[in-house]
């Protein structure tokens, strides 16, 4: 078969066609296995129902003046909208 050869419908049937993007890992796995991977995402490593979330932050959490100024600079408009300009 010659590179660039087309079938009756005009579609390229050459074995070496260029791809617009590289295959994703899932697409590569599907090509290797010959069928699609049965999971849409990575399965959890452990049973999540047994997890416990704790923290050891002090109460109240200390915040520096620089952190306050940074939040006011980035989120000032949002804070004014939520709490009013004089809050």
**Residues 32-46 pLDDT 10s:** 888 876 666 676 677
Whether residue 54 is contained in a domain is answered as no
Contact 1, 15 (CB under 8 A): yes
Domain carrying residue 74: 59-87
Using the predicted structure, report yes or no on whether residue 1 has a pLDDT greater than 50: no
Mean pLDDT of 52-77: 92
Whether residue 83 is contained in a domain is answered as yes
User: What gap in Å lies between CA 33 and CA 46, rounded to an integer?
Assistant: 26
For the chain, how many structural domains are there in total? Answer: 1
Across all residues in the chain, what is the average pLDDT? 78
- 3-class SS of residue 80: helix
Whether residue 12 is contained in a domain is answered as no
Whether residue 78 is contained in a domain is answered as yes
* Of 23 and 85, more confident: 23
Whether residue 64 is contained in a domain is answered as yes
Whether residue 65 is contained in a domain is answered as yes
- Weakest mean pLDDT among 16-20, 52-56, 61-65, 75-79: 16-20
- pTM for this prediction: 0.33
């Amino acid at each position: 078969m010659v590179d660039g050869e087309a079938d009756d419908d005009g579609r390229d049937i050459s074995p070496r066609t260029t791809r617009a993007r590289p295959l994703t890992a899932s697409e590569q796995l599907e090509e290797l296995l010959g069928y699609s991977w049965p999971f849409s995402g990575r399965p959890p490593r452990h049973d999540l129902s047994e997890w416990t979330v704790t923290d050891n932050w002090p109460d109240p959490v200390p915040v520096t003046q620089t952190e306050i100024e940074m939040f006011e600079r980035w989120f000032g408009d949002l804070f004014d909208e939520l709490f009013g300009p004089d809050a």
